[in-house]
Amino acid sequence: IHLRPNNNSIFSTLYKLLRIFLNMKLSTSMITATMLSSTAAFSFSRNGAKFGARALTARHMSSDAMPHSDEKMPFYALGVNLANQIGKGQLDNLLSEDEMDLVIDGFSSIMKGTNLVDGQAVLMKYGMELNQILTSRTASVSEKIKADGEDFIANFLDCNDEAVKTDSGLVYYSMVEGTGAQPTTADSVEVHYHGTLTDGTVFDSSVDRGQTITFPLGNVIKGWQEGLAMMKEGGKATLVIPSDLAYGDAGTGDSIPGGATLKFEVELFKVNP
């Protein structure tokens, strides 16, 4: 399900992307690679490469007509794809509307060749300041999200007397007690799961896809390793996982922000030694 996170922070990733876009025009090969990367980001693989961590939610989308003609929409789609690659869903939490306009202005001028200053010179002079701004703002947003998660955990424990909080901070609530084998991190497990943020937003769900998933327990986030090890085959439980047992301050994809507490309902079908 959810692979162990890497330690790359959003600001370093954004800085690398900005360097790419400011220093070169988008070649055909780059367009292809970008489109393939986006496709993979929203895909689901049973083999473990991607597990839908960037599952697309439709809560803010409308069914209105497209903004351009069918002939023009493929190019509009490229713009949407580039925005997703740069970090839409993360950047809009860090920048004001005026600052976002400046980002778009810099991007547009370089892409169109209308820039009045050298892109490399801009990066050399302001790149470090950009890094510092994004570092500071990411930390502030992450701390607020962490605090919301702590409140959610406290409320969950108050409302569920049988829920237990382990020494690590994981909250485990058994919904159905299993009677079969109990997994370790050396095993593979077959499960159904439904993952939400503390506001109820669904970011990933094998239940919604209608297909269970099998994966090595040792390859997933710490909260899953600990929580699944407390279950037995045939059991169902709710796991509330604080960020330090999930994706930390970096978050992952567009759907799980830094500092996020995650809630999973998990049903354990089979343990494979």
Annotation says 221 is catalytic: yes
SS3 at position 271: strand
Annotation says 152 is catalytic: no
Task: Record the tokens describing residue 11, joined without a space.
Answer: 């600001």
Annotation says 203 is catalytic: yes
User: What is the distance between the alpha carbons of residues 29 and 66, in angstroms, rounded to a whole number?
Assistant: 27
Identify the active-site residue in 51, 247, 249, 254: 247
User: What is the distance between the alpha carbons of residues 135 and 129, in angstroms, rounded to a whole number?
Assistant: 10
Annotation says 42 is catalytic: no
Residues 6+ apart with CB under 8 A from 39: none
Identify the active-site residue in 11, 51, 172, 203: 203
- For tokens 């509307």, name the residue: 97
Identify the active-site residue in 21, 152, 156, 193: 193
Residues 6+ apart with CB under 8 A from 126: none
Q: Which residues pair with 268 in a beta bridge?
A: 191
Crossing angle of the two packed helices 119-159 and 10-23, in degrees rounded to 10:
150
Q: Give CA torsion, residues 43, 44, 49, 51, to 10 deg.
A: 110
Side chain identity, residue 161: D
Identify the active-site residue in 173, 204, 254, 256: 204
Annotation says 264 is catalytic: yes
Annotation says 204 is catalytic: yes
Q: Report, as residue numbers or ranges, the catalytic residues.
A: 193, 203-204, 221, 247, 264
